[in-house]
Amino acid sequence: MKSYPLDGISLSIPAVYDIAVHQASVRLAPAARRRIQAARNLVERWVRSGETVYGVTTGFGEFSSVRIGPADLERLQENLIVSHSAGAGDPLPAEVVRAMMALRVNALAAGYSGIRPETVDLLVAMLNRNIVPYIPSQGSVGSSGDLVQLSHLVLAMIGKGRIMLQNKGAVKTVPARSVLKRARLAPARLTAKEGLALINGTQMMTAFTALAAHETRRLVTIADIAAAMSTEALRGSDTPFDDRIHRVRPHPGQRLAARNVRTLMRGSEIRESHRHDDPRVQDAYSIRCVPQVHGASRDALVYVERVISTEINSATDNPLIFPGQGVHLEGGNFHGQPVALAADFLAIALAELANISERRIERLVNGSLSGLPKFLTPNGGLHSGLMIAQYTAASLVSENKVLCHPGSVDSIPTSANQEDHNSMGSISAQKAWRVLRNTQTVLAIELLCAAQGLDFARIYKGSTPLKAGAGVEAAYRTVRSVARPIVRDRVLHDDIERLQVLTRSDKLITAVERVTGILQ
């Protein structure tokens, strides 16, 4: 299994996904350890000299003017964690918590936080042993960082929180102290600055958005595959994907999406069977404008990836400590606005992939539009075929429209109006996560309907079955490996679930690329 050195400057989105989902291990880079120690030495010098440093020798937020004596500095840090562990709601998914842990280590590795190396080592050890804290999902306003969620993470580190355990598919929670003891790990004893160093940051919202962006990178290609299958099943034209069209409006994502569909349809007998005698001059927008719509979502994703790649290699603490200059600077790097905007944009980009997919689904099941059997069943009336699959897709895209109202335009003051503008990035990121899952399901439904439509489109104009493009054929075979043709009514939920899993893996893209070469 791969192990990633965390140094605060070179972590990538794919690496975060590997650590979070595939449980790759991490380690603190040697240079990072030296930087952490240098900042820590400075904190300890300030404590000895009695210098006024926010959150080190003072209280927090509205209490920043309250001086804390040397005897209470450790209690101050533990009280911070206990009092801020005020979350509510369902627990965060384990993969999101693992991503949070890795991101927090990486932020501390930059060496601007003043934490002790041994405290970071505990967080690394917990991650590598898959000791996943129980963290409620609600309570962050996303500006002094994700304070509530990170406090619950640290609550487990000090042995006062709970740990999530998987048991035959069910999740239960157990006291953190007992889990740490079994793992031969001593709970952290927080000294000056350490509690604050661990919870000032955007790690929850960034974890959600990083994982969602990684899955979206796969999904934009799957959307192109689904669109190509639907185009073939609906006997659509390949003209809208001609590169000459897209060279004169050269948005990068648009050209890539057009190239993918063109590649997937290459060599199609179905297309050739109606090239010269189709009465339609143009296809509907959901077919003809695939490059423009899918491409815009692709370009949005590039922006999101740039923002998140920057954020995962940023120091988001306050105050920040600069050992080279011997100073501490109070600022606002914990404010989640960059991530909040990116998460909202990602949700919108995903929702548009689902919107246009649902319109293709409607054309496939609507016999008046498709020229295919109504609801893609050979025995309509007695059998309903894929009628209700479109209902599910319609429901999900409607839910997405509600979820795409941007959280980042909202704000509510907290901490006696000291924190008077908040990003709500945690809400934006969790909404984007839900939109991602909904969009994966809508595309799963399109794959199901498009494969069924291809079964009928093959016999257009004759009894000899026609072939689709080589890429579409490879996609069809992969879909059929998990969802057989629908001859008579059956429970569609199972097919949709299996295909939704397919949209979350590399299996479909890999199968197609074996015959087409690399898709974009």
Do 295 and 175 lie in one domain? The reply is: no
End residue of a domain, out of 180, 200, 220: 200
Counting the structural domains of the chain, the total is 2
Residue 325 lies in a domain: no
500 with 402, same domain: the answer is yes
Q: Which of 134, 166, 200 is the last residue of a domain?
A: 200
Please indicate, yes or no, whether residues 143 and 42 belong to a single structural domain of this protein: yes
Residue 205 lies in a domain: no
49 within domain boundaries: yes
Assess whether pLDDT exceeds 70 at residue 463: no
Same domain, 267 and 151: no
Q: Is residue 300 part of a domain?
A: yes
User: DSSP states of 154-177 as a string?
Assistant: HHHHTTSSEEEEEETTEEEEEEHH
pLDDT at site 94: 96
Residues 225 and 133 in one domain: no
Q: Is the model's pLDDT at 462 over the cut of 70?
A: no
Note the pLDDT tens digit of each residue in 233-289: 999 999 999 999 999 999 999 999 999 999 999 999 989 888 777 767 689 999 999
- 54 included as an active-site residue: yes
In-domain check, residue 474: yes
If asked whether residues 302 and 162 sit together in one domain, one would say no
Same domain, 292 and 216: yes
What would the pLDDT profile of 368-422 be if each residue is shown by its tens digit? 999 999 999 988 999 999 999 999 999 999 999 999 999 999 988 887 777 878 8
Tokens representing residue 261 in the block: 């569909």
Phi/psi-derived region of residue 442, left when phi > 0, alpha when psi is between -120 and 50, beta in every other case: alpha
- How confident is the model over 344-376, as pLDDT tens digits? 999 999 999 999 999 999 999 999 999 999 999
Model pLDDT, residue 99: 98
Q: Are residues 50 and 187 located together in one domain of the fold? A: yes
Mean per-residue pLDDT of the chain: 94
Q: Which candidate in 4, 17, 54, 134 is catalytic? A: 54
Q: Is the pLDDT of residue 168 over 80?
A: no
Going by C-alpha positions, the residue among 140, 103, 135, 211 that lies closest to residue 432 is 211
For residue 461, pLDDT beyond 70 = no
Is 232 part of any domain? yes
Contacts of 443 (CB under 8 A, 6+ apart): 219, 222, 223, 226, 353, 354, 357, 503
Rounded (5°) CA angle 375-381-387: 30
pLDDT value at residue 101: 98
- Residues 373 and 485 occupy one common structural domain: yes
Bigger pLDDT: 145 vs 260: 260
Report the pLDDT value the prediction gives residue 81, as an integer from 0 to 100. Answer: 95
Q: Do 67 and 109 sit in the same domain of this protein?
A: yes
- Residue 141 sits in a domain of what CATH number? 1.10.275.10
Task: With a cut of 90, say whether residue 171 has pLDDT above it.
Answer: no
Same domain, yes or no, for 121 and 221? no
Query: Which residues constitute the domain of residue 131?
Result: 3-200
Domain closes at, from 200, 225, 247 = 200
Note whether residue 160 is domain-resident: yes
Residues 113, 155, single domain; the answer is yes
Q: Cα 141 from chain centroid?
A: 19
